[in-house]
Amino acid sequence: MRKLHAFFLLIILTFFLSGCAIIEEVFPSETRQFQDTIIESRDHLIKTNVGLYVTDEQQGLLPGRSDSRLGSGVVMYEDDEYYYVLSSFHVIEPTFRAETTYEVKPFGFDEGETLDADLIVYEEEFDLALLRFDKSLAEMDLINMTARKESPLRQGEFVLAAGNPSGIDSVITFGRYERMAQIDKVSFNVIAHSAQIYPGNSGGLLADYEGNLIGINNWSSDSNEFNYAVGLEEIYTFLEDSDYDFSFLREES
């Protein structure tokens, strides 16, 4: 009987050790580290994200009428007075028929609580815009702009998108980088990826799994199979052509 018990114990122990080996193979330590990094990146990206509220007060023929738009932005720089926010031109798009005002909602602000923002640079060609707001009124993280400047995206690479769909605060979605693509909205190649974006996400960040900026989300495809973002090369060109001294853009990451 003791020999039989020992035999069954040996079988159980063998299966247990085999199972541990299988689990270790399926869930290696690198996978856990990857998961931890994604969670850390998510928490960081939320703190770089802002909701953007644009209001057009109509002038001329229809005085007193107002239209509003929702979008997203990412805090990419700070100086002694301001945080600077990257977003989309088609979200802010000022017109000669309206007096346009801008507000941002940093993560953690209560519903309806916003800060005034100033539009300082925009370029329709890149579908990009830059705004700023008083940094004394909020505490934000900055997205890392330089880490991926010289590091090309890899097909299938994991990506994260942050935005404010329908005004909901800081929704993070994930997907993969697919390829560089041509679309009819701009003259340059854009990033095609599978992270979901929705109305209100325009101007929001696209990052790698470590939380480094790789693009600004601006468009969805008709099939919703892919979404599209302006890449770092165009973002750098847009910023370097502005009148502001973003000297960090020339620093090595």
In angstroms, the CA 163 to CA 86 distance is 12
What pTM value is reported for the model? 0.82
Q: 59 with 44: CB under 8 angstroms?
A: no
Both 168 and 200 in a single domain?
A: yes
Tell me which residue range forms the domain holding 70. 46-137
Q: Are 41 and 57 in contact (CB under 8 A)?
A: no
User: Does residue 147 belong to any structural domain of this protein?
Assistant: no
Residues 118, 50 share a domain: yes
Give the start-end residues of each E strand in 61-204: 66-78, 82-87, 98-106, 115-123, 128-134, 158-163, 171-181, 190-193
CA torsion angle for 219, 100, 213, 51 (degrees, to 10)?
A: -90
Closest CA to 173 of 31, 42, 40, 32: 42
Within this chain, do residues 112 and 77 fall inside the same structural domain, yes or no? Answer: yes
pLDDT digits (tens, 9 = 90+) for 139-191: 999 999 999 988 999 999 999 999 988 778 888 999 999 999 888 888 899 99
In this prediction, residue 67 carries a pLDDT of 74
**Beta strand ranges found along 30-92 (DSSP E):** 49-58, 66-78, 82-87
pLDDT score recorded for residue 194: 93
Residue 133 and residue 50 share a domain = yes
| 130 and 58 housed in the same domain | yes
Q: Is residue 177 part of a domain?
A: yes
Please identify, among 137, 171, 187, the residue that sits at the C-terminal boundary of a domain.
137
Q: Which residues contact 29 (CB under 8 A, 6 or more apart)?
A: none
CA distances for 188 relative to 99, 125, 179, angstroms = 31, 9, 13
Give the pLDDT score at 199: 82
pLDDT < 70: residue spans in the chain: 1-30, 58-66, 95-98, 222-224, 248-253
In a domain, 219, yes or no: yes
Domain for residue 26, yes or no?
no
In a domain, 133, yes or no: yes
Report the number of distinct structural domains present in the chain. Answer: 2
Q: Is residue 184 part of a domain?
A: yes
